[in-house]
Amino acid sequence: MNKMIKLIKNADIYAPEHLGLKDILICGNKIARIDDSIEGYDNLPDVDIYDARGMIVAPGLIDMHVHITGGGGEQGPTSRVPEINLSELLLNGVTTCVGLLGTDGTTRSLENLLSKCKALNEEGMTCYMLTGAYQYPSPNLMGNVIRDIMLIDECIGTKIALSDHRASNLSCDELIRVASDTRMGGLLSGKAGMLCMHMGVGKNMLNDVFYAIDHTEIPISTFLPTHMGRNIPLVSQGIRLTEMGGNIDITASDPAISDKAASDMIAYALRNGASADSITISSDGCGSQPRFDEKGECIGLDYTSPKVLLIELKNCVFKEDIPLEVALKFLTKNPARIIGKAGVKGEVKMGADADLVVLNENLDIVHVMAKGEHAADNGNAILKGRFEK
């Protein structure tokens, strides 16, 4: 499917709401029409027609937490994780991602992050970025986080770390200041202005976040805590945040690294009052998965891949009996809203970007379309980075 006009026939559309069997007309990089039957395009020279044969067609996945330039470093220079390739994202259904820094905000620079973000956009997918890192004051490119969000097209928010021995141990006032600046940058630029907060296992958990919400006028939507599935106490505080109108991001689990599935925590959150519209799942792709002993010393290090998103989608549907149209929200419509791209990303609807995944009945990826281009076909990457073989 390489032509400007494409017609997908007989698609069982999950938009993520289940629309049933319909046809999808794509012009350039946009969805132009969805109808029960779209006719009149047969044998036209400038139209590619694909018969989905009743397979599921859903929005391309949005991964809000990817270390696109690599994470790690907790065991010295040799433990730095390599940067991600375009094909690794697309083959796993990710057509939109948000790149960010982690523990290492020194050798993993924002300059490098921005350049990699631009490269992924040029190569065929959609990529945004966050300024900041674990450190405070927040590393930035243009003088402060307000200027970064306002003046860098790709930048939509800020990254910090809380309740973690690797973090800068922000005071409540410092958290309020960076949240205020992130909010202001979002307002002035018309962007999301989201503050992504890496949450460790420290005893303070979300207490400072609740303080900031209770003692300022900063909207609760500014705050997005991630890695919220670490344990029951943390996810319980996350449920409280969602009941107040906030959102939580739960990191998908790789069964090769952890025996704790994120789907377990998602099901727990739903059973205990969290709205399905308030939950997102991200991969922490190319981010380190260090193991620390009781003294805080790193005793092992792995890293994860965007492949975990599909693993958790399947877990939600087949293990936790969460309806597919609900489970897909965690990876499509909900993150699109949080990153300020509602109606453009994360939905199969007229006017939205033509980012699509075709899934079989086992929820395995058959095809991926990014920006209206055929990006992956039955496990084979069609779009690749310049130096990928």
Q: Which conformational region is residue 234 in: left (phi greater than 0), alpha (psi within -120 to 50 degrees), or beta? A: alpha
Cα separations (Å) of 134 from 71, 79, 92, 145, 292? 12, 17, 27, 14, 18
The kind and range of the H/E element at 82 are none
Largest CA distance in the chain: 69
How far apart are the C-alpha atoms of 226 and 231, rounded to whole Å?
13
Catalytic residue among 284, 293, 302, 355: 284
Contact 69/130 with Cβ under 8 angstroms? Answer: no
Residue 48 known to be catalytic: no
Please give the Cα distance from 286 to 289 (Å, whole number): 9
What is the Cα–Cα distance from 85 to 127, expressed in whole angstroms? 13
Question: What is d(CA 372, CA 29) in angstroms, rounded to the nearest whole number?
Answer: 4
Instruction: Take residue 209 and report the two structure tokens written for it.
Output: 């976040």
- Cis status of the peptide bond prior to 139, with omega within 30 of 0: no
* C-beta of residue 219 within 8 angstroms of C-beta of residue 187: no
- Residue whose token pair is 């899934």: 359
The set of catalytic residues is 284
